[in-house]
Amino acid sequence: MANPIYTALPTTIFTVMSGLAREHDAINLGQGFPDEPGPLAIRRHAAEAVLNGDNQYPPMAGLPELRQAAARHYGRLQNLDLDWKTEVTVTSGATEALACAFLGLIEPGDEVVIFAPAYDSYAPMIRRAGGVPVIVRLQPPHWRFTRVDLENAFTPRTRLVVLNSPMNPTATVCPDEDLTLLAQFCVRYDVTAICDDVWEHVTFAAAPFRPLMAVPGMRERTVKIGSAGKMFALTGWRIGFLIAAPALTDALAKAHQFLTFTTPPNLQSAVAWGLDNSAAWFSAMPADLAVSRDRLAGALTDEGFAVLPSQATYFLNVDLAASGVAEDDMAFCLRAVEETGVAAIPISAFYETDPVTSIIRLCFAKLDETLDEGARRLAQARDASPRR
Ligand code: GLN
Residue finishing a domain among 223, 249, 277: 277
pLDDT at 375 over 90: yes
pLDDT at 388 over 80: no
| pLDDT value at residue 6 | 83
- The DSSP code sequence of 280-313 is HHHHHHHHHHHHHHHHHHHHHHHTT-EE----BS
Q: Which atom of ligand 1 is nearest to the CA of 363?
A: 10
Greater confidence, 339 or 3?
A: 339
Q: What is the CATH number of the domain that holds 339?
A: 3.90.1150.10
Domains contained in the chain, number = 2
**Nearest residue to 309 via CA among 204, 381, 230, 380:** 204
Mean of pLDDT over the chain: 97
What torsion do the CA atoms of 299, 304, 310, 315 make, to the nearest 10 degrees? -70
| pLDDT value at residue 8 | 86
Task: Encode pLDDT of 116-167 as tens digits.
Answer: 999 999 999 999 999 999 999 999 999 999 999 999 999 999 999 999 999 9
Residues 348-381 as b or e (16 or more Cβ within 10 Å = b)? bbbbeeebbbbbbbbbbbbeeebbbbbbbbbbeb
| pLDDT value at residue 207 | 78
Q: What is the mean pLDDT of residues 341-350?
A: 98
Q: Which residues line ligand 1 (CB under 6 A)?
A: 12, 14, 31-32, 168
| pLDDT value at residue 229 | 97
Residue 207 belongs to some domain of the structure: yes
Residue 312 belongs to some domain of the structure: yes
Residue 388 belongs to some domain of the structure: no
Pocket test for ligand 1, best of 9, 17, 18, 31 (most atoms within 8 A of CB): 31
The model's confidence at residue 23, banded by pLDDT at 50, 70 and 90, is: very high
Residue 73 belongs to some domain of the structure: yes
Ligand 1: residue whose CA is nearest its atom 7:
14
Same domain? 284 vs 273:
no
| pLDDT value at residue 5 | 76
Domain that holds residue 8: 4-31+280-383
Task: Encode pLDDT of 276-286 as tens digits.
Answer: 999 999 999 99
Q: In whole angstroms, how far apart are CA 23 and each of 64, 166, 235, 363?
A: 43, 32, 22, 19
Same domain? 172 vs 102:
yes
Q: In whole angstroms, how far apart are CA 38 and each of 49, 138, 140, 237, 251?
A: 17, 33, 32, 11, 33
| pLDDT value at residue 254 | 98
Pocket test for ligand 1, best of 12, 13, 14, 315 (most atoms within 8 A of CB): 14
50 half-sphere exposure, CB direction, 13 A CA radius: 7
Q: What is the CATH number of the domain that holds 208?
A: 3.40.640.10
